[in-house]
Structure 1
Amino acid sequence: MQTNTPFKDLIFGNHPVLEALESGKEINKILVLRGAVSEHTKHVLQLASQRRIPVQKVPVEKLNRVTRKNHQGVIAFLSPVSYHRIEDVIPNLYEEGKNPLVVVLDHITDVRNVGAICRSAECMGAQAILLPTKGAGALNADAVKASAGAIFNLHICRTDHLEGAIRYLKESGLSVVSCTEKGSETLYNGVLSEPTCVILGAEDTGIQPALLALSDQHLRIPMAGQTGSLNVSVSAGIILAECLKQRTSVENTVA
């Protein structure tokens, strides 16, 4: 449940960050002073590694740009959402009798795009978002705002190995669909009514080759104008609307 209290998305200093790590608070990433060798720093790095939290070692100038207060060489960015394991989410969806629809964000870094995609995903019936631990836009207050709160109604999953997670989804019966302007079929010829994993890539680099190779379908959005591409969040909305259309059609036929 949301409140009107602003989300405080960062903490700093050795003891506050250690307490956050030890208490299990959700953390998007941690900035640590490059070259720091104190016992506190080592403890922070150890706990972050155990919890698979991304750590960036940065110069003091970057830390000072984040906060002018006494950060003691360590800053943690808190997450307003709880993270899940995709390996736990999929079995639960099947047990609940749901038709899984998972949206994978392949290194999409713009937090507002991430939030907007989450909004479309939740509206169109997706149950989960899968992100890489490193190289993805942080689910911070800006992402929550862009999602209009939809993030809180989704299972947000992180993985250290996106390729391995996609293999798991395939083994779990999901059809893997890559959305790319070089797709061999148009979106409207795709099969999206069955358990599906939709992969979206960053606008500049697209979907990585390893994930394209794992995909069962490569779909493109047909366009009639002169502009060569769509914003990734707009593409997500179009693709997920087609998923909902096909799934609703199948449900009505069965009924």
Structure 2
Amino acid sequence: MEKEHQIFGIRAIIEAIHAGKEIDKVFIQKDAQGDLMKDLMKAMKQKSINFSYVPVEKLNRLTPNNHQGAVATIAPIAFYTLEKMVEEVLESGKVPLFLILDQLSDARNFGAIIRTAECTGVNGIIIQKQGSAPVNGDTVKTSAGAVFNVPICKVEHIKDAIFHLQGSGIKTVAATEKTESNIYDLSLTEPLAIIMGSEDRGINPSVLKIVDEKAKLPMFGTIGSLNVSVACGAFLYEVVRQRQ
């Protein structure tokens, strides 16, 4: 994690939240207590800020300074609202291509996906506020800087984002092994949003119920699944092939 993207100390983090800083994630010491910590928890909940409890050893690794049981990461980018992102793409006259990441949690996988998204002309990436990979130094590095070129939007709930996209005339396609449909048999030339799941659990079953289409990649080996960033690349390049 890059130190310039860090805030340490409970009071400093509370001040940053109230000042409207783009806090990406807060790491809280497992057994931390006290009135100031309660104030921090309240401030994070009001702004729906992603946080996790970690051992004190992790906080000590993150910063040599007196962290008081809390370290926050500041996102190196500004996030879009869903409405603004969709509106801008529809007004541009381009055929929309969005990517929805359902609780993908690994920063390096996230960075690799952003890099591929930039290369394949993705107009925006949608992630959930809670449980998603942080946009930190690892993300920036593995995206080769593409994180600065692709709009990223954080939403409260992936399902609400899908309903909004569908209401805007955008077809939603989930990448999942729980289907007989092959990605190569689908039409991907119309306005489109592709949904990729988390590394371990895939796409949430409640999300799968509301998408327009489900599709899988054909598999010929003995291992049942691809790394999510590789699978994402295969899906996006099939969109590129069909739209050429």
Whether contact under 8 Å (2:105, 2:198) holds in the other structure is yes
Please give the residue correspondences for 1:64-143 in structure 2 after superposition, counting only pairs within 5 Å: 64-143=60-139
Please give the residue correspondences for 1:1-255 in structure 2 after superposition, counting only pairs within 5 Å: 8-33=4-29, 34-38=31-35, 40-57=36-53, 60=56, 62-248=58-244
Whether contact under 8 Å (2:48, 2:130) holds in the other structure is no
Q: What is the TM-score with the length of structure 2 in the denominator?
A: 0.90
- When residues 54 and 203 of structure 1 are mapped into structure 2, their CA distance, relative to the original with a 3 A threshold, is closer
Q: For 1:5-62, what per-residue CA distance to the aligned partner results, in whole angstroms no more than 9, with x for missing partners?
A: x662211124432342233221111234545333x44443343333321233556455
SS of residue in 1 equivalent to 2:184: helix
- When residues 55 and 109 of structure 1 are mapped into structure 2, their CA distance, relative to the original with a 3 A threshold, is closer
Cα separation, 2, equivalents of 1:65 and 1:172: 45
Cα separation, 2, equivalents of 1:43 and 1:88: 32
The letter for the 1-side match of 2:79 is Y
Cα separation, 2, equivalents of 1:113 and 1:14: 30
- When residues 226 and 14 of structure 1 are mapped into structure 2, their CA distance, relative to the original with a 3 A threshold, is closer
- Percent identical among aligned pairs is 41
Cα separation, 1, equivalents of 2:153 and 2:72: 19
Whether contact under 8 Å (1:7, 1:80) holds in the other structure is no
1:196 positional shift: 0.7
Whether contact under 8 Å (2:32, 2:69) holds in the other structure is no
Q: What is the TM-score with the length of structure 1 in the denominator?
A: 0.86
Q: For 1:161-220, what per-residue CA distance to the aligned partner results, in whole angstroms no more than 9, with x for missing partners?
A: 111111111111111101112322111111111111101112321111111111111111
Cα separation, 1, equivalents of 2:162 and 2:91: 20
Give the RMSD, CA atoms, in angstroms: 2.0
The letter for the 1-side match of 2:184 is Y
* Count of residue pairs the alignment pairs up: 242
1:152 positional shift: 0.8
Q: For 1:71-123, what per-residue CA distance to the aligned partner results, in whole angstroms no more than 9, with x for missing partners?
A: 12322111112111112210121112122111111111111111101111111
Whether contact under 8 Å (1:11, 1:75) holds in the other structure is yes
Q: For 1:121-153, what per-residue CA distance to the aligned partner results, in whole angstroms no more than 9, with x for missing partners?
A: 111111111111111111111011111111111
Whether contact under 8 Å (2:111, 2:141) holds in the other structure is yes
SS of residue in 2 equivalent to 1:103: strand
Bigger mean CA offset, 180-189 vs 126-135: 180-189
Whether contact under 8 Å (1:53, 1:133) holds in the other structure is yes
Whether contact under 8 Å (1:102, 1:128) holds in the other structure is yes
Cα separation, 1, equivalents of 2:153 and 2:14: 23
Whether contact under 8 Å (2:50, 2:131) holds in the other structure is no
Structure 2 counterpart of 1:3: none
Cα separation, 1, equivalents of 2:153 and 2:211: 20
Bigger mean CA offset, 180-189 vs 113-122: 180-189
Cα separation, 2, equivalents of 1:46 and 1:229: 40
The letter for the 2-side match of 1:74 is A
SS of residue in 2 equivalent to 1:30: strand
Cα separation, 2, equivalents of 1:107 and 1:63: 23
Long gaps (5+) in structure 1: 1-5, 249-255
